[in-house]
Homo-oligomer: A and B are copies of this chain.
Amino acid sequence: MVLEGDNPLKTKIPYILLTNGGGIDESERCRRLSKELSFEIKPTQYIQAHTILKTVVHKYTHTPVLVLGGLNDDIRKVAESYGFKHAYTTLDVKAWNPSVWPFYDLTPDERARAKPADFSTTPIQAVFVFHDPRNWALDVQVLCDIIQSGGIVGGPYKEPDVPVELIFCNPDLIWRSDFDRPRLGQGAFREAFQAVFRALTGRTYPYTQYGKPTAATYKFAEQVLRDRLTEIQGGPVSQMPQVYMIGDNPESDIAGANAAGWDSVLVQTGVYDPANGPPQHRPTHIVYDVEEAVRYAIDREIQRMSSWRRHDAPRLERSFSEK
């Protein structure tokens, strides 16, 4: 409510949610979240780890790409909703030729939902790790096959003119689940893949890393905030106001915000525990929870405005993190 206009500035303050999670498309995620919160969150306000892949769709709209992670064909559907018209999963590859990876049997459901294709004549041009892979062995095998052959699973090894592009969307080595100890994340899969690839070829494969705390993801988030501000203002944004990141993870939320030149507010209701000493990456401010963080940011901007006598532009945006 505060951000929707019920604040001393009497203005809507654009905000987005920025997470390293994913696995389903933004519309579905926001439907679920809005229901849970009894408060509407629009898909344009919600950035998942893989949302940034929308920025590469133009390069691969009509080109075969491999998409990794997620359950069954969920990620293929997300990729298709982004505009990738020829997205495939490793389950599709396994369904095409079971010998690709002999140590796994498709479930009846996976078999039923597999997308038919002849991968011996389908050159894969890019591999996007959307979400945490569920079948590391199959995925590492197919990834190595595609990279070594320049796109054809099972094809002869060669150095292609244009190497297969590889993008990971979430760098987290570990993450907090309901289990007592942190669980391995997509970053662990990347380490596993690179170790196997290095053992096979003697080198590490070049890749692009997205997700918090990477600069690319913060830059993307800032563009989304700018679009949202344009929408609220009803016209182009002349000068981008100050952005505040509110997050619970110093290594991810705060580190990325600091590097992006945003202000950062660390909350104590999640990963960060003040009992373990000061955070490795120092935020602009530390508060108890998100509500307090929002009030802090608004108060700070009001003070700045009055001291600078500049009342002409909203200087406040908010980005909030959750897994």
Contacts and interface: CB of A to CB of B under 8 A. Distances in A.
A312 interface: no
Interface string A129-148: 00011111100110011001
A174 interface: yes
Contact of A188 (B102, B133, B145, B196): B196
A191 B196 contact: yes
Contacts of A177: 99, 102
A101 interface: yes
A104 interface: yes
A188 B140 contact: yes
Interface stretch (A34-42, A59-67, A178-186, A209-217): A178-186
Contacts of A103: 132-134
A179 B137 contact: no
A239 to B, nearest CB: 41
Contacts of A145: 181
B184 A137 contact: yes
A194 B191 CA distance: 9
Contacts of A199: 173, 187-188, 191
Contact of A181 (B154, B192, B195): B154
Contacts of A193: 192
A156 to B, nearest CB: 8
A56 interface: no
Contacts of A144: 184
Given A132-B103, A194-B195, A184 B154 contact: no
A135 B132 contact: no
Nearest to A193: B192
B179 A154 contact: yes
Copies of this chain in its oligomeric complex: 2
A306 interface: no
Contacts of A188: 140, 196, 199-200
A192 B133 CA distance: 14
A137 B140 contact: no
Contacts of A195: 191-192, 194-195
Interface string A93-111: 0000101111110010000
A189 interface: yes
Contacts of A196: 184, 188, 191-192
Given A154-B179, A180-B154, A196-B188, A107 B104 contact: no
12 contacts: A102-B179, A134-B137, A135-B135, A135-B136, A137-B189, A140-B188, A140-B192, A148-B181, A154-B181, A173-B200, A191-B195, A192-B193
Give the 6 A-B CB pairs with smallest separation, nearest first: A195-B195, A192-B192, A136-B136, A99-B179, A136-B137, A191-B195
Given A103-B133, A174-B200, A184-B196, 11 more contacts: A100-B179, A102-B183, A103-B134, A135-B137, A136-B140, A137-B184, A145-B181, A155-B180, A173-B199, A192-B193, A192-B196
